[in-house]
Structure 1
């Protein structure tokens, strides 16, 4: 299995590659995420990236929420993403990041679990962004496999908290990406 830090870095790279394709007139397009247009989706990703160093360093959501719970894109959303992604990747490769206790809204988890959640969110939102702007939707098959393996164990918790859509039915012979997206409540 791929190192989760590498998977996260690669998922962020995939998101960044799609982000480079966003044209000026596409920032207000709807995404598969209910109530989010492209700009709101990118803002969410930048917020998550900005939180990562603080949370992996042991700070709580209450300590950092006022810092990042706003529009953090400024006039250059692509640059904001690139800078935030670089900081997040540095944080996950910091010694002790995998075993650090991270204080999330639903409780404390090891850093490795938090990084896995960041990875999964980045991967799924890469597809969301691609779908919204009409870019290539095919995700890295190795990342899809890694996410699918983890999400098979984690999906019930996500579903209970309401942070993902209802599971979508797909044919038995659907490809792994289609099955993963369906598990996250997306139709691909």
Structure 2
């Protein structure tokens, strides 16, 4: 699977779960122990509000605090849809993958930024599904893309607070179970 296709599949997977959140479920707990369903959607909505800026080469200082606080407002689904649409367009824009992206860890290649965002979309689609009791099965090609990336990065992420410690799984566990376990979740 091409990286842009994987990113878009991740947007679709997460967005599909956002559209399944019932009015009474926004406060539901998720596997991200400090985040409710609303917090989780707010996290990714904020991330995707930043994406068009960063993919155009903006620095963190140039973006500033414009996406601080509650980015969901009274319409969390609409806020997500708007941010996801802008993020999708930014990734597809000519030259978007040619310029390094400014992040809190320094400048990184745009493709690395897309891999990080795709992984975040996939794992948080699983988290949100678990939090609201929806189907947590992810697209197999997306899982394969994310597992390949995460397998090479997991040791580096330990101690940074990005993900919890890996959870042991059986050798014959599915790719999806291996992915979420690698990222500190219990499949």
The TM-score with structure 2 as length reference comes to 0.97
Shift of 1:100: 1.2
Question: C-alpha offsets along residues 10-42 of structure 1, whole Å, 9 cap, x if unaligned?
Answer: 111111111111111111011111210010100
More off after superposition, 94-103 vs 122-131:
94-103
More off after superposition, 53-62 vs 117-126:
53-62
Given the alignment of the two structures, is residue 140 of structure 1 paired with residue 144 of structure 2, yes or no?
no
What is the root-mean-square deviation of aligned Cα atoms in Å?
Answer: 1.0
The TM-score with structure 1 as length reference comes to 0.96
* Runs of 4+ more than 6 Å apart: none
How many corresponding residue pairs? Answer: 187
Distance 1:75 1:112 in 2: 33
The match for 2:73 is: 74
Distance 1:65 1:146 in 2: 32
Mark the runs of 5 or more structure 2 residues left unpaired by the alignment. none
Shift of 1:69: 1.9
Shift of 1:153: 1.3
Given the alignment of the two structures, is residue 155 of structure 1 paired with residue 160 of structure 2, yes or no?
no
Mark the runs of 5 or more structure 1 residues left unpaired by the alignment. none
Distance 2:88 2:137 in 1: 23
Question: C-alpha offsets along residues 69-119 of structure 1, whole Å, 9 cap, x if unaligned?
Answer: 211111111011111000001111111222211011011111111011111
